[in-house]
Amino acid sequence: MKVLIKQEECILCGNCSATCPKVFILVPGESSKITKEYMGKNDSEGEIDESLVDCVQSAIDSCPVEIISLE
């Protein structure tokens, strides 16, 4: 499954990386990014398997500006 972050709208709150640190990392002054382990073609796009869906869904629910999605 694919995880997408609309990085240009990230307000750097850190909720996603605190909730699901396996998949999200906050880079101060930049944005939230997908960790190297799960990165797709760039750091705004990740590839995860079923075992991480709950983790990513919690991060989605924690994002105050609703810019994380799963497809």
- The residues of the shown chain that bind ligand SF4, judged by CB under 6 A, are 5, 10-16, 26, 32, 62-63, 65, 67-68
25 vs 47, beta carbon nearer ligand SF4: 25
**CA gap 26, 1 in Å, rounded:** 21
Query: What's the min distance (Å) between Cβ of 37 and ligand SF4?
Result: 17
Query: What's the min distance (Å) between Cβ of 54 and ligand SF4?
Result: 16
**CA gap 67, 4 in Å, rounded:** 8
Using only C-alpha atoms, what is the Rg of the chain? 10
